[in-house]
A and B are shown apart, each in its own frame.
Chain A
Amino acid sequence: MDITAAIDEPAADQLLDTAIGLISLPPASGAGTLGPFFASYNASASLSSGDVDLIAPSTIRIQDFRLDWNLGFSFGFDLSSFLPDFCIPQVCIDIPCVGRVCTPGFCVNWPTVSVPVSFSDFVKVTADFGISITQTGGVWRVEAVVQGTPNIQFGLVTAGLLAAISLAITPILLAVPFIGPLLAIAVNAIIAAIGIAGVTGLLGPILTPFVSGLRIPIYDQPVTFEALAATSAIDPAVFVTIDDVKAIITSTNEDELVLTIDIS
């Protein structure tokens, strides 16, 4: 016997909204490049659904689903790479009734500093999902599985992150003796060295894994389950076995996700 269930796009939208909201993405950590620097990072993210478009025969396109992310990273650099050698000159002072005294000049070796940065933002992603039907561990599972590697458009995120890096660098450099008037030059040089390419080069490998390989559960059902409970000794429980599950997207009068379940 077959059971057929179908949902249209608004219903699919609602179903996937709920399913995506329940997905818990594991946090990530590692190391990457931020322009010419190495950065160690930890990141967490959460998903919320966008607009669902059912495309026959087997594609669920979710437009503008949202990936909210928190990123903490730190990177270090040698200030000497950005600032020229700097020397405090000899200072001579005339002391009344004593004479002229000169202090020795000295040159500043700019230190290596480490900058921690915290930043949160979101990106919107459009991705196509295929339909995966599996039976494992005695459970039939229908999932929407993202196809390929979604292309994340960072847009204004890069400017925001560069601004956050600039804000994080400033107080750290302010603690470096003698940097005072050279601060703006140093910050500008470091931000220029990172650039937009550096930011996307860091964010891409961190955020893409949150959405590539993404699986959205649509339907989970044990292969055998109790359909009717026993009511007496002579009226035992009725069990149903799902022999097969098929899912397809049809596009006749309207686009629908159709689930056909063969039971015995």
Chain B
Amino acid sequence: MFSNVLDSRSIGFGDAFGQRFMRPGTYRYNIVLGSTGCMVDERPYVVEVEKGGGSATMEQHSLVVHCDGRSFTPDREAITIREGDLVVWACPDPAAARFEVRGDKEFFGNARLTNECGYSHAFGLPGEYRWVDAHHGKVGGVVRVKDVRTDSCEGLERWRKRLAKGTLVLIADGKAEPAEVDIVTGQTVFFAVVKGDGISITDSSLVGGAPFAGRAKAKRR
């Protein structure tokens, strides 16, 4: 069974990692097994960022990550984008291992979310998730996921429509806004890091301590 773990340090099934590139240049990266990025020096894949044409509109480029055992490849090994554009990596294979995007610049990668990047997670199980920065920052928050119980087609249809509605959490200067959100099973939360100090979005149960002391108590069914 696939895991459904809230942890931006490794991207799993139902997650996505996005990075904006604000300066022209060549950015090399690798996709490796989750949390092993610092052990790999190769950067075989490229994001070529061209100078923008003055357009204020951000364009999104989605890359599908394929997993073959412990080896990961994007569907396009090199892409060319314009400055300010966003690249999103996700793997649709539930059997795939969790992965890490490791760039050749400090800001580029999901191990530490720094600037103009984001992590999304679809919450598959109900419960109360306290998330913290596993790198000992003070930012944190709570996601309360409520189950929807229904045995009617109408109820299911309503639920499925709600799944297309995401929730945004903006993180800047060590604060998450909103710090607490309520969603239903299957809904997605997008954590957008405007400016961070190399943080992570990690379920507090994975890191032992919980620096974030929100109202909610850690509780999981």
Contact = CB atoms under 8 A, between A and B. Distances in A.
User: Do the two chains bind?
Assistant: yes
A184 B149 contact: yes
Nearest to B165: A91
Interface in B143-179: 147-151, 155-156, 159-160, 163-168, 170
Interface stretch (A58-66, A115-123, A125-133, A173-181): A173-181
A108 interface: yes
Contacts of A108: 94
A103 B120 contact: yes
Interface string B180-221: 000011101010100000000000000000000000000001
A25 interface: no
A239 to B, nearest CB: 73
Interface stretch (B27-35, B39-47, B54-62, B105-113): B54-62
Interface residues of B, number: 49
Contacts of A183: 149
Interface string B72-105: 0000000000000010101010110000000000
A177 B60 contact: no
Interface string A180-200: 111111001000000000000
A101 interface: yes
B36 interface: no
Given A88-B14, A185-B151, A177 B124 contact: yes
B137 interface: no
A218 to B, nearest CB: 56
B16 interface: yes
Instruction: Point out which of A90, A103, A180, A181 has the most chain B C-beta atoms below 10 A from its C-beta.
Output: A103
B18 interface: yes
Contacts of B147: 180-181
Given A95-B170, A98-B58, A180-B185, A103 B159 contact: no
Interface string B102-141: 0000000000000010101010111000000000000000
Given A101-B18, A109-B94, A184 B150 contact: yes
A181 B166 contact: no
B185 A102 contact: no
A101 B166 CA distance: 10
Given A177-B2, A177-B124, A185-B151, A91 B188 contact: yes
B126 A177 contact: no
A88 B13 CA distance: 11
Contact of A99 (B58, B125, B186, B190): B58
Given A103-B188, A107-B92, 9 more contacts: A91-B166, A95-B170, A106-B90, A177-B125, A180-B125, A180-B147, A181-B150, A181-B159, A183-B149
Q: Which 4 A-B pairs have the closest CB atoms?
A: A177-B124, A180-B185, A91-B166, A99-B58
